[in-house]
Amino acid sequence: MENGHTKVKVGVIGVGVMGALHARDVYESDLTKLVAVCDIDEARAQIIGELYDAKVYFDYSKMLAEAEVDGVIVATPHYDHTPISIAALKKGIHVLTEKPIAVHVNDAQKMIAAYEKALEQYPELVFSAMFQQRTYGFWQKIKALLDDGELGRLLRTTWIITDWYRTQSYYDGGGWRATWQGEGGGVLLNQCPHNIDLYQWFVGMPQRVSGFAALGKYHNIEVEDEVTAVFEHDNGMVGHFITTTAESPGTNRLEIVGENGKLVFEDGKLTFYRNRYSALEQIKHASGAYDKVENWVIDVPYTHHGEPGHRFVIENFARAIANEKALIAPAVEGLHSIMLANAILYSALTRQQVSLPLDGDAYEVKLRELIENSDFQKPVHAPRSGDEEMGKSF
């Protein structure tokens, strides 16, 4: 590594829109060396391999068997994250998998079980997930304020995250996208894993989930493109999660309310409405019927790197392999966002509230039904959305 250690040798599996950027980041970093790339699209693999001077494979098993890699980054469509990660972990190869770590809870649990088993033989094995938004300064500041207990007892968290706008052209641009068979979900599985991961990172997992979802309401797709969920936490906090890929202009507004005040993040501005007294104590002790709590409006400073952030997660992966740093996003934590996404969808499809932990078998049966009953004909007008579109893709 940079301080005289050897670079971590990395292979990238799936070099489409995202994987090609990971290959570039691995190639350019002082901490990593790109030794191999793999894609079932042979022309694609060749182009990226030549561009970054890496050995080219068309079959990940062959790459795992032959390429001398310390770690791999898995950037294929989601379903394949599971078998590829498991195959690598079994060989003692470190894994950084794209989000979502899997399509459904059972697959995520298989990956975690394989990791735990592999740890017996390779105790230093690293299993990380690409939740690069955890590196963003504003999210880190919110996390720190919550962890420090600034808000006191939490009452409500509401996230309106409707600025994931996508056109029909986006959905038509990849054969696997927005189908039950190819992707296993829509906005919850592709665009929102970051937000759902952050939700549970900030305030923990709820115990009950009620979901409302519309399938292909605004786009010619078979999966969900509009979702509203209500989360109930045993500590009394209630959560709301509202998303869609159809609103333009969309909104990204997070409100976290506690007895000591309210944090609001919107348009890059983090505001803390700080109560002089606990609102819950005021309810009990105020003499006047309408006495509100005095609050001070604080513009909370934070520093943010301003980059997409994938590079930092890759370098963190390399440092974790070298035993120099803890992981920003252990893949094991990726189970939480999948469980929430699956639970929202399951609740919406069955019109019932779902208790967590979700019954993974029941969800898998439901997903299989959706796949088997699908008669959706996917219009595909282009092999993939262009790399230049990447900036909008996360």
Catalog residues that contact ligand NAD under the rule CB under 6 A: 13-19, 38-41, 44, 60, 75-78, 80, 98-99, 130, 132, 174, 190, 384, 393-394
Q: What does residue 72 show for φ and ψ, rounded to 5 degrees?
A: -130, 150
Strands 224-232 and 238-244: antiparallel
- Cβ distance to ligand NAD smaller for residue 80 or 315: 80
- Cβ distance to ligand NAD smaller for residue 19 or 239: 19
**Strands in 181-235 per DSSP E:** 208-215, 224-232
3-state secondary structure of 219: coil
DSSP letter at 81?
H
Q: How far is the CB of 324 from ligand NAD (least distance, A)?
A: 23
- Cβ distance to ligand NAD smaller for residue 16 or 71: 16
- Cβ distance to ligand NAD smaller for residue 15 or 257: 15
Burial (CB < 10 A; 0-12, 13-18, 19+), residue 388, is exposed
Q: Tell me how crowded residue 181 is: count the other CB atoms within 10 A of its CB.
A: 16
> Radius of gyration of the chain from Cα atoms?
22
User: Which residues are 256's β-sheet partners?
Assistant: 157, 263
- Cβ distance to ligand NAD smaller for residue 130 or 198: 130
Question: Cα(78)–Cα(74) distance, rounded to whole angstroms?
Answer: 9
Q: How far is the CB of 64 from ligand NAD (least distance, A)?
A: 11
- Cβ distance to ligand NAD smaller for residue 283 or 382: 382
- Cβ distance to ligand NAD smaller for residue 18 or 145: 18
Q: How far is the CB of 41 from ligand NAD (least distance, A)?
A: 4
Buried b (16+ CB within 10 A) or exposed e, 111-123: bbebbeebeeeee
The first and second tokens of residue 268, run together, are 């890059």
Q: State which amino acid sits at residue 261.
A: G
> Which of 333, 335, 320 has the alpha carbon at shortest distance from 126?
320
Residue nearest to ligand NAD (CB): 16
Asked if 334 and 143 count as a contact pair (C-beta separation under 8 A), the reply is: no
